Structure 1
Amino acid sequence: MGGQALDALAKVCGDVRPGEPAEGVLGVVPGVVAAPASVAEAAEVMRVAAEESLAVVPRGAETRLDWGTPPLRCDLLLDTARLDRVVEHAAGDLVVTAEAGLGMDRLAEVLASRGQRLALDTPLPGSTVGGTIATAAAGPLRLLYGTPRDLVIGLTVVRADGRVARSGGKVVKNVAGYDLGRLFSGSYGTLGLIVEATFRLHPVPAARAFLTRAVPDAARAHEAVQAVLHSPAAPSAVECVTPAGNGGDGEAGGIVVGVLLEGVPEGVAARTGQLRALLGEDTAVAPDPPEWWGAYPDGTTLIDVTAPPSALAGLLAAAEAAGPGAALSWSAAGRGHVGLSGEAAPGDVARTLGRLRGLPDGPRRCAAVVRYAPEAVRAEVDPWGPVPALSLMRGVKDQFDPDHRMSPGRFVGGL
């Protein structure tokens, strides 16, 4: 990138510098790094980037910057670290507005001081508001509360040309305008820059209980999950992990099913008794989560799988067939993750992807996406798999980013 563009950016942003090799996005080194401190400054940075035809890649806390595929270009790495404020917490309305660079952990602390929470647990500590929305990341609580697209009620973004766009509002009932929250959720920075988000909140529950039950095989795991889901216990989350992903809990070669119950103390105690009667009196009960709760499985390759409860047995079998070191974590909301060790060759990963994408999901097949993997694996496998809506996604990309400068090549189909 020429010095003219660097000088132009420095005139509108107080924190601009040349990029360094260590800041490369999957090996693509940025020409310049800019860290705006306000929405207005971010808009000016994006305006200059448009005038100079710079390819822009947003960066939060880098917890998921290695997800997706390498960008075709990274002229400007736009760092949101200085956009880190809680703009407004309307506790009486159960609503909060926060800037994109604010850490989810810090946001949780602010909300907890008023007895509230954003029911969006993220598996990676340090994740930011913007990065969480951009990757549609969610943890076990997604079973009851949903994902970012369900909890974002307002979004402010800077479009590729530098214009600021807003949708939604500060009250839960406001549904006027284009729903940018749903559109930008899982967009991987390819449509624009997320700068602020407004979320609906929930009270912190008065009591909670984590139940864990070790089972010997996939059939018993399926039975246990079905028993919980069809019971009146109303769990907030139901998780299932294999031994390589559960920190050693459970029997050798076994599988662990975990359940979270929340509510008032009397109700949680009664529902705990109901589930112990269903799962077995040796079901462990604790007030705090097990070590593996909500974490991604270990491995150098991480595969995100969309698989409903009816596909759980097949999913467990596919993870077992992946070989030694393979680990699985799965949520009854229908999402799971398979972690493969560094010993898994590209061919092994391809075969595992084939098994996962062959699992039934009603009339369709399950989706399996490689979130991160060694370079040799990324070069040999299709990380995204079939995407029926690809033509529609390309149309949206053309509308929001006609010059294809926002995170070019980072998303499915080269978007």
Structure 2
Amino acid sequence: MTDLQRLDDALKQDGGEVREAGPGDAVDGVRATAVARPASAEGVAAVLREATAQGLVTVARGAGTALDWGAPPERVDLIIDTTGLDRLVEHGAGDLVVVAEAGLPVAALSETVRAAAQELVVDLPPDRLAGGSTVGGALSTGASGPRRLQRGGIRDLVLGATVVLADGTVASSGGKVVKNVAGYDLAKLLTGAYGTLGIVVRAAFRLHPARPDRAFVVATGPLADVAARARDVVASQLAPAAVEIDRPSGSDVAEVAVLLEGTGSAVARRAAAAAELLGGVVQAESPRWWAALPGGGAAAVGTRVSTSSTNVRDSTGGGGGSISGVGTYAKATATLTGVADLLAAARDAEQRYGVGVALRGTAAGVLHTVVTGTPEATASAVGHLRGAAPSPREGTVTVLRASREVRAALDAWGPVGGLDLMRAIKRQLDPGRNLAPGRFVGGI
């Protein structure tokens, strides 16, 4: 049983607050008992120390824009709301480094560094940015966007982090920190771990100078042809900032968009060369789908779509079957050459199982997919997509957002390498399984 008074006492010196959970305080459908909103790292440590002493299960929450990603936790006794930790600690413009607390919205951080003609190249989906997605939330979900191709995902940009472990220990690793934890790069270890190893309270990131000029080159064509042309651009000397592919559900064609960044006439020359290589056109603005999750509307956000039969048709008017139920969101990875196989598997899955499969992401092999169909058909389609890669080293499909019926019909994570090592790290950092148990792969 949760002792709210003892949790509240733990935050007295911090200026934070504890309250009973309300109807909206749930993690992927699992209702919480209480919510704590600390105002400092010390407050997070104090409330976690008390929560663990009470045997409570704790889940961290920022803006909640991806709180239903991953798997539902086994239970939720306490939510730690990190939005009280919303300070920009340091902006070392000369060193291209920024240090921020976990509850600071990424959009606010970006606006601050933009004034110095710098940027944190995360490229979150527009809906997450607009929803106030926080620094801690971006780290916990391992965020990345179109420009990952050239500058990496958030895991490559984080220099260090201060983390509170389940027992209340405040630990740090990497750059711009004081106390280091031997043996672990906590910042990278916790990136993409969905809060199962510790709660990030502060992080330092590498910034990049903003590039003032940009151009897009866009082309369309058959799936295999687009994949091949996109691969040629990635392997070229044009140094594209991003090469993105968008394949709508039910379609035999895809669109490829190349982003060139830089200064002045050099961008125009590279864009012209990319247009020749792609057989595409140069344009000043990004495609409307740029950086957004695929599927659009209900499917993209995991809400229910019409249960009436809907024909999925390709560009030639051929049938693809009927779809109903909910949109299932997954992240797919592939090798540079395996992207073509993934695109082909998506079209084949539609024709075999009567689902819709939208794919969008970098031609270098990190794509997002939304599958719309019945739970059984969706599970079969996900299995078919996984079959496009012979092993986890060559590609994975991880289901991040789905209905309970879909989750019951498939293994959301699929084959995973190094699971024993991951479980050993969980035992080391959170032996009592007090932090979001069950949210990560293998029940971690």
Q: TM-score, normalised by structure 1?
A: 0.92
Match of 2:362 in 1: 331
Match of 1:316 in 2: 343
CA deviation after TM superposition for structure 1 residue 354, in Å: 1.5
Match of 2:42 in 1: 40
Is the Cα contact below 8 Å between 2:161 and 2:174 reproduced in 1? Answer: yes
Is the Cα contact below 8 Å between 2:140 and 2:192 reproduced in 1? Answer: yes
How do 1:118-129 residues align onto structure 2 when only pairs under 5 Å count? 118-123=120-125, 124-125=128-129, 126-129=132-135
Is the Cα contact below 8 Å between 1:322 and 1:348 reproduced in 2? Answer: no
Which region of structure 1 is more displaced relative to structure 2, 158-167 or 303-312? 303-312
Structure 2 distance, partners of 1:45, 1:194, is 14
Match of 1:9 in 2: 7
Structure 2 distance, partners of 1:157, 1:135, is 16
CA deviation after TM superposition for structure 1 residue 385, in Å: 0.6
| 2:288 is the counterpart of 1:291 | yes
Structure 2 distance, partners of 1:209, 1:45, is 49
Which ranges in structure 2 are unaligned for 5 or more consecutive residues? 300-326
Is the Cα contact below 8 Å between 1:153 and 1:200 reproduced in 2? Answer: yes
Paired residue secondary structure (1:81)? helix
Paired residue secondary structure (1:360)? coil
Relative to 1, partners in 2 of residues 1:264 and 1:369: Cα closer, same or farther, differing over 3 Å? same
How do 1:179-218 residues align onto structure 2 when only pairs under 5 Å count? 179-215=185-221, 217-218=222-223
CA deviation after TM superposition for structure 1 residue 337, in Å: 1.4
| 2:245 is the counterpart of 1:240 | yes
Is the Cα contact below 8 Å between 1:307 and 1:361 reproduced in 2? Answer: no
CA deviation after TM superposition for structure 1 residue 190, in Å: 0.4
- 4+ residue segments displaced more than 4 Å: 174-177, 361-365
Paired residue secondary structure (1:256)? strand
Relative to 1, partners in 2 of residues 1:387 and 1:117: Cα closer, same or farther, differing over 3 Å? same
Which region of structure 1 is more displaced relative to structure 2, 363-372 or 389-398? 363-372
CA deviation after TM superposition for structure 1 residue 70, in Å: 1.2
Structure 1 distance, partners of 2:390, 2:208, is 31
Is the Cα contact below 8 Å between 1:96 and 1:199 reproduced in 2? Answer: yes
Is the Cα contact below 8 Å between 1:167 and 1:177 reproduced in 2? Answer: no
Paired residue secondary structure (2:6)? helix
Structure 2 distance, partners of 1:12, 1:347, is 47
Match of 1:399 in 2: 428
Q: What is the aligned length?
A: 400
Which amino acid in structure 2 is aligned with residue 162 of structure 1? Answer: G
Structure 1 distance, partners of 2:212, 2:120, is 15
Aligned counterpart in structure 2 of residue 151 of structure 1, from 138, 142, 157 = 157
Which region of structure 1 is more displaced relative to structure 2, 64-73 or 195-204? 64-73
Match of 1:83 in 2: 85
| 2:225 is the counterpart of 1:220 | yes
Relative to 1, partners in 2 of residues 1:95 and 1:256: Cα closer, same or farther, differing over 3 Å? same
Relative to 1, partners in 2 of residues 1:70 and 1:360: Cα closer, same or farther, differing over 3 Å? closer
Structure 2 distance, partners of 1:238, 1:349, is 28
Residues 60-92 of structure 1 deviation map (CA, whole Å, 9 limit, x = unaligned): 111110011111111110111111111110101
Which amino acid in structure 2 is aligned with residue 301 of structure 1? Answer: T
Is the Cα contact below 8 Å between 1:207 and 1:264 reproduced in 2? Answer: yes
Which region of structure 1 is more displaced relative to structure 2, 113-122 or 321-330? 321-330
Which amino acid in structure 1 is aligned with residue 168 of structure 2? Answer: G
Q: TM-score, normalised by structure 2?
A: 0.86
Work out the percentage of aligned pairs sharing the same amino acid. 48
Paired residue secondary structure (1:391)? helix
Which ranges in structure 1 are unaligned for 5 or more consecutive residues? 246-251
Which amino acid in structure 2 is aligned with residue 261 of structure 1? Answer: L
Which amino acid in structure 1 is aligned with residue 424 of structure 2? Answer: G
Is the Cα contact below 8 Å between 1:356 and 1:366 reproduced in 2? Answer: no
Structure 2 distance, partners of 1:109, 1:287, is 22
Relative to 1, partners in 2 of residues 1:362 and 1:16: Cα closer, same or farther, differing over 3 Å? closer
